[in-house]
A and B are shown apart, each in its own frame.
Chain A
Amino acid sequence: MPQLRVCEHECWRAVYCGLCKCMGRHVCADSALALSYDAAFLALVRLAATGEKTEISARRCILHPTKKRLVMEPNDSLRFSASVGALLAYHKIADDFSDERTLFRLLLLPEAKRLRRKAGLSELDAIVTERLGALYEAERVAQKEHGASLDKLAELAGAALSPIFAYRLEGSAARVTAELGRRVGRWVYIADAAHDLEKDFRKKRFNPFLFGAAQENPEGGKLSAADREAAIAAMALERRAAEAAINLIECADAGIISILRNIITLGMGSVEEKLLGSSGA
């Protein structure tokens, strides 16, 4: 089950380093600074769903000049994930700026816009921008009406991530990856809400948990026992649905599937415990 063997760990590292190189070459030189594990996760999903052939070689890089590292050679999945990494970096910086307008974030904006342009995924970007816009609008309405359905908002977040995972795939691969993207997007939204709860309460910012939490505990932004229990169960079931989707990916490389399952079950499960503790604790 979800344990990384040495070869799987090497594959994961090769994908990560390959993605870093790919961002530098395919997007723009400084885009590698926006390298993130979420783009690497996406690369693994795309590699599994497309089944394209991969090639791994040992190379040096500027960060590791003395020792050669395993690097996946550029392929369609890596190139696409590199572009998405740049695109997501733009959306993150733009969102951070709209949350809190600091000078530092203002200075980052032109670079973020350049990354977006260089990503060259205008068609996909239009869809993601529209769906993120729907999410932000729903949050604004929820804040105004002082009430929010966590799942309704999480669904909008999942809907924004879903087309990225399924981009230009067809048939069952498109359906399975869309569902995986939806589930991961929903899980991330709930995790993010739980993570930011205290900070949002302090700064009087919107948080989907806050309405319920503030009612239960006016002292501060803490989840009530019932909300915490419900969040723990909901997040575990999101992961179960994500793992079910992974199980349906027809992929000859069992190692990639094993890495993906490891992230969903062990990695994301650990994050849940860190955020919310164990059930019944």
Chain B
Amino acid sequence: MKDPYKVLGVSRDATDEEIKKAYYELARKYHPDNYQDSPLFDLVEEKMKEINEAYEQIRRERASGEKPGSSGSYRASSQEYSPIYAEIRRRINAGDFITAEAMLNEIPDGERGAEWHFLRGCVLTQKGWYYDAQKEFESACYMDPGNTEYRTALNNIRNSAAAYNRTYRTDTFGGGISVCDACTALLCADCLCECCGSDLISCC
């Protein structure tokens, strides 16, 4: 198995922040989304898997004070912390989002893997914090690109929003809207932004 530090291209003295930065740069570079139509898709999947495993290995070693390279195998964080996450999932399924969020917050920063981000995204979705929820699902997908559960969760939010937009666009523009209607609606929305200090239609 390759040295995880070499995989991420960082020295063994690198700070946690430098490792995280290196990981995100590589994850962005090799993310499967960039290769959807490429014949090299399988190669990039392998590469991402290697990067994820290296990152998880370093984080695990540093969190537990383990010496680098003392572990014989690399496991994804979702498997590593499954007892805690299983309990959090149980709480979420039971609708106990407050406890689930509190449990997630108690997990130290260094131990927050893909599943942590996914579960936090689930909690935030339930709160109606859709922007942050998408960011958490994105992080989960970056860390574990092959996981269909995480990808589906992100797609579900995007698809719900797209479906909502399609509904009213079809019902309004498709049904023949007058110029007057559109202007009135625009003006109404403009003013909603004015109350927070911005101005979408500068002339009014």
Q: How far is the CB of A195 from chain B (nearest CB, A)?
A: 4
B185 & A41 in contact (Cβ 8 Å cutoff): no
CA distance A151 to B131 in the complex (A): 6
Of B132, B157, B196, which is within 8 A of A150 by CB? Answer: B132
Interchain CB contact under 8 A, A37 and B182: no
Name the distance in Å between B203's Cβ and chain A's nearest Cβ: 14
Q: In the complex, which of the residues A157, A234, A262, A268 contacts B196, with contact meaning CB atoms closer than 8 Å?
A: A157
Stretch at the interface among B59-67, B106-114, B159-167: B159-167
Bound state CA distance, A95 and B181, in angstroms?
A: 32
Of all chain A residues, which has the CB nearest B129? Answer: A151
Cβ-based interface call for B135 (8 A): yes
| Beta-carbon contacts under 8 Å, A137-153 to B | 149-152
Residues B195 and A1 in contact, CB atoms below 8 Å apart: no
Complex Cα distance, B190 from A40, in Å, reads: 12
Contact residues of A between 224 and 281, Cβ < 8 Å to B: 226, 229-234, 236-241, 262-263, 265-271, 274-275, 279
Whether A217 sits at the interface, judged by CB under 8 Å, is no
- Find residues 146-187 in chain B having any chain A CB closer than 8 Å to their own CB: 157-158, 160-162, 164-165, 168-169, 171-172, 175, 177-178, 180-182, 184-187
In the assembled complex, the CB of A165 is this many whole angstroms from the nearest CB of chain B, namely 12
Q: Which residues of B are found within 8 Å of A241, using beta-carbon distances? A: 128
List B contacts of A274 (CB < 8 A): 200
B134 close to chain A: CB less than 8 A:
yes
Q: Is B86 an interface residue (CB 8 A)?
A: no
Cβ of B43 under 8 Å from chain A: no
State which of A38, A155, A226 has its C-beta within 8 Å of the C-beta of B195.
A38
Query: What residues on A are CB-neighbors of B171 within 8 Å?
Result: 1-2
Whether the pair A233, B158 counts as a contact (CB closer than 8 A) is yes
* Interface assignment of A12: CB less than 8 Å from any CB of chain B: yes
* Assembly CA distance A120 to B133 (angstroms): 40
A231 CA to B127 CA in the complex, in Å? 16
B187: which of A1, A37, A230, A275 is its contact (CB, 8 Å)?
A: A37
Residues on A with C-beta less than 8 A from B157 are: 233, 237
In the complex, A271 Cα to B199 Cα: how many Å? 11
Contact residues in B for A267 (Cβ distance below 8 Å): 184-189
**B177 and A266 within 8 A (CB):** yes
**Residue from B128, B133, B165, B191 within 8 A of A40 (CB atoms):** B191
Closest Cβ of chain A: how far from B98's Cβ, in Å?
Answer: 15
User: Per a CB cutoff under 8 Å, which of A37, A150, A229 touches B191?
Assistant: A37
Other-chain residue from A151, A183, A189, A279 in contact with B124 (beta carbon distance below 8 A):
A151
Cβ of A92 under 8 Å from chain B? yes
In the complex, the chain B residue whose C-beta lies closest to that of A36 is: B191
Interface centre among A9, A234, A241 (most CB of B within 10 A): A234
Query: A residues within 8 Å of B by Cβ?
Result: 1-4, 9, 12, 36-38, 40-41, 88, 92, 95-96, 99, 149-152, 154-155, 157, 183-184, 187-192, 195-196, 226, 229-234, 236-241, 262-263, 265-271, 274-275, 279
B: residues with CB less than 8 A from A are 124, 127-135, 138, 157-158, 160-162, 164-165, 168-169, 171-172, 175, 177-178, 180-182, 184-198, 200
- Complex A-B: 5 CB contacts under 8 Å: A2-B171, A37-B194, A150-B132, A191-B196, A270-B189
